[in-house]
């Protein structure tokens, strides 16, 4: 059935690289990439491997069922609560390699009532600056 939609700019909250650096002190920063990229074991695209220090890993693939649909809201809520992400919790932001996969993370968060900001520069911008630290391993 046909519908109507109107696209417009500036509807998604975003943070820049300086806000991303300070974010773990004020909220929860989610790295939406595969766990091995987060841990710094592989980096197929960017100049350095690892993650933004203080960020928690939540691969977007973990938000999907085996057939590629979003998990049920109660399952998403339970899984994200383990990271401290829940309605009324501190601010939440997400990044990935280039910002695309993080937008998927933000969609999943929206389905459970958590509004999150996007760091569009993501790991590509962060890892391109040698002065920025890179976390490795499982811990934020």
Provide CB contacts within 8 A for 139, sequence distance 6+: none
Element (H, E) at 11: none
Quick check: is 8 catalytic?
Answer: no
Catalytic residue (one of 15, 52, 94, 96)? 96
CA distances from 130 to 4, 7, 17, 78 (A): 46, 37, 13, 37
Q: Catalytic residues, which ones?
A: 96
């Amino acid at each position: 059935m046909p519908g109507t939609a109107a696209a417009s700019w500036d509807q998604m909250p975003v943070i820049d690289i300086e806000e991303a650096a300070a974010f773990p002190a004020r909220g929860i920063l989610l790295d939406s990439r595969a766990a091995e990229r987060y841990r710094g074991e592989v980096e197929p695209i960017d100049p350095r491997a690892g993650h933004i220090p203080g960020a928690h890993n939540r691969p977007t693939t973990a938000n999907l069922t085996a057939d590629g649909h979003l998990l049920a809201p109660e399952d998403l809520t339970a899984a994200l609560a383990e990271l401290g992400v829940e309605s009324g919790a501190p601010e939440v932001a997400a990044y990935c390699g280039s910002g695309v996969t993080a937008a998927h993370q933000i969609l999943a968060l929206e389905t459970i009532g958590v509004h999150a900001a996007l760091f569009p520069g993501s790991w590509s911008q962060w890892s391109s600056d040698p002065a920025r630290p890179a976390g490795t391993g499982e811990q934020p």
